[in-house]
Amino acid sequence: MTVHPKFTKSKPVSPKKYPVVLRFKGLWPRDLRRFIFHDLRRGGDLAHVDLGLTDSNRVLCGEDDWDQVIRDEVAQMKQHNFEEHIAALEAKSRKSEADKVEEAGPADPWRASREGPLREGVLTVNKDWFGGGGQAQWKPERVEAFRQTAMSFLLQSFPGGQLRYASLHMDEEALHIHFVVVVWAEKPSANRGHQVLLQPSENPLLRNYELAQDMAGAAFAKIGITRGERRAEARRQARAEGKPLEKKRRHVPPSEWRAEERRKAQKEKKRLHADAVETAKATVEDGRDLAKAAVKKSRKRAIKEAQARKQRAAQETAEAIRLRDAAEKEALQFEKAAAAASSLKLGFETAIGTLMPLAKGYEERAEKALEKFQAKVAERKVEEEKLARINREAEEGKKGLADLRRRECGLVAEVQSLEQHRAQEAAACITAQSARQVAEQKLEDAVTQLQQKVAEAEIISEAIEAGLDLVAEGALLWREETSDRKTGMVWGEAAPKTGDLRAEKRKQIHPAMGMVTRIAQLVARTVKRVLAKQRQKLQDDAEYVRGLREQWEPEAQARLAQISQGTDAGPS
């Protein structure tokens, strides 16, 4: 990762004037390898570099082995100065001093300084002068004009082979030129002989940076680039006039700025990591609270379902009692109907008993009349009127007898109908008694089933409560399927220690194992989702740190390689 904006998202600045930027920095011969290492984009801080454009960088001055040539010169001058020093002392008969110099060995061919005897320089201008941030937005004619003007200025300012190396970097946000200057100065001395030292101050531009800015401004003015602000002159004038001095600006190299940004990022990363750890702990606690809440909620749900089942059983019992009462009522009605039918039958039997003597009387009268008719056949003619009357009476008697017989047949049919109705009532009564027995049996079965269900509900409720306690305590866990393990419930860290205790717990929660398993799955997956987010955040932070480490390691490895080879002690 990088804290730098991409070239395509850079924020352009639009100054009225575009000043030339010329900066120098001290450089030690032992650091030339690191300079080349970074110049060739083989290591170092490359966060601000578009490596896809590195092939367009160009070497404007210097051979392939220019750095080795400088190190060879340093080694040669080191030995040359050493021999000259000894020879000069011996020529003056200062033998003891010559022995001390010889015992100390060759010294570096430069005077002690904090910056180093070589100079590394940067020459550039604001990216907007070229056309924007990145090579894709630069105007080729301005790039070429800057290159020609810069090389002309460098060759004129550092003549006689002082300019050893210059490279044009086109893979960063603004085009710029890196260059290395080596200034050798001859210092003859009676005590030291002909000494040749690295002394940058022998060049006027390196001795006076204000003069270097003036010269650069004059050289680049022809292509529309001006000199930078004259801050040193303004400070001198303010000092002369007794005015408060503006705070002196310090140039912060990009590498130093990026190192500071990395330090801030590292600090922020540690803070984020600590926050993530705290968040993870809080998430775990929330997961535990969530598990306990789920257990509590499931327990309430189980109790509520048991109460609902109990209420349904009570309703079924009440319905069975209602059906039994209805069956008893219906049987009572059937009994009343049977009693009414029996009473009606008795009435019919009484009526038949009353009519039978009348029917017998009519038959006897008819027989007597017939006998009289036969006795008086001889007297028919004499007693025609009497016979006719008798005949009429006989006819009337026959009609009455026929009516009587018809009434008797109707009564018999009614008696048969009553007997049939009574048989039906008896069958209905038997059916009602059977229905009552069936209803009573169903009621007894319902009560038995209700008692069994209540007992099962109590067992399941106790099993659920025990299982949820084990899940909440971490004794039972849900394990997802992996390459070497199957999915299922497993014992956790808080599980009973002995096999007997585990078997007893397993037997206790067996009736509600399905529900406990689903709750454990829910808890495990909920915690897994929450932890996955935190792990992703930690992974992103780790990737960020890994990216920074990959940026730092090449430079650190190059430094360690130099130390192991002894390059810090002198040239190779």
List the domain boundaries for the chain: 19-242
Structural tokens at position 267: 């600090």
* Cα torsion 361, 363, 365, 368: sign: negative
Query: Residue 23: how many CB atoms within 10 A of its CB?
Result: 14
pLDDT at residue 352, rounded to an integer? 61
- Decide: 109 and 77 in contact? Cβ < 8 Å: yes
Q: Tell me which residue has tokens 């803070």.
A: 271
pLDDT at residue 156, rounded to an integer? 93
- Decide: 338 and 424 in contact? Cβ < 8 Å: no
- pLDDT by position in tens, the chain (length 572): 333 334 444 444 444 588 888 989 999 999 898 888 888 878 766 777 778 888 888 899 998 899 999 999 999 999 999 999 999 999 988 999 889 988 889 999 999 888 899 999 999 998 889 988 888 888 999 999 999 999 999 999 999 999 999 999 988 888 999 999 999 999 998 889 999 999 999 999 998 888 888 888 898 989 888 886 666 555 566 566 665 656 655 555 666 666 676 777 778 778 877 877 787 777 777 777 777 777 777 778 878 887 888 788 788 778 878 877 877 777 677 677 667 766 766 765 676 666 566 556 656 665 676 676 567 666 666 766 766 676 676 677 667 667 766 776 776 676 677 677 777 767 777 777 777 777 778 777 777 777 777 677 777 777 777 777 777 777 777 777 776 777 788 888 778 878 888 888 788 788 878 877 888 778 777 777 777 777 787 777 777 777 776 766 676 667 666 766 654 444 43
* Cα torsion 397, 399, 402, 407: sign: negative
Helix 499-509 and helix 384-473: axis angle, to 10°? 150
- Decide: 229 and 19 in contact? Cβ < 8 Å: yes
Q: Tell me which residue has tokens 């008696």.
A: 415
pLDDT at residue 570, rounded to an integer? 44
Closest to 165 (Cα-Cα) out of 37, 60, 69: 60
Residues with Cβ within 8 Å of 262's Cβ and at least 6 positions away in sequence, in order, are 3, 548, 551, 552
Query: Residue 82: how many CB atoms within 10 A of its CB?
Result: 19
Please provide the DSSP assignment of 24-46 as one string.
EEEE-GGGHHHHHHHHTTSSS--
Q: Tell me which residue has tokens 């049919």.
A: 413
As a whole number of angstroms, the distance between CA 552 and CA 47 comes to: 11
pLDDT at residue 42, rounded to an integer? 80
Fold designation for 19-242: BirA Bifunctional Protein; domain 2 (3.30.930)
pLDDT at residue 246, rounded to an integer? 64
As a whole number of angstroms, the distance between CA 130 and CA 152 comes to: 19
Please provide the DSSP assignment of 190-241 as one string.
TTTEEEEEE-GGGSHHHH-HHHHHHHHHHHHGGGT-B----HHHHHHHHHHH
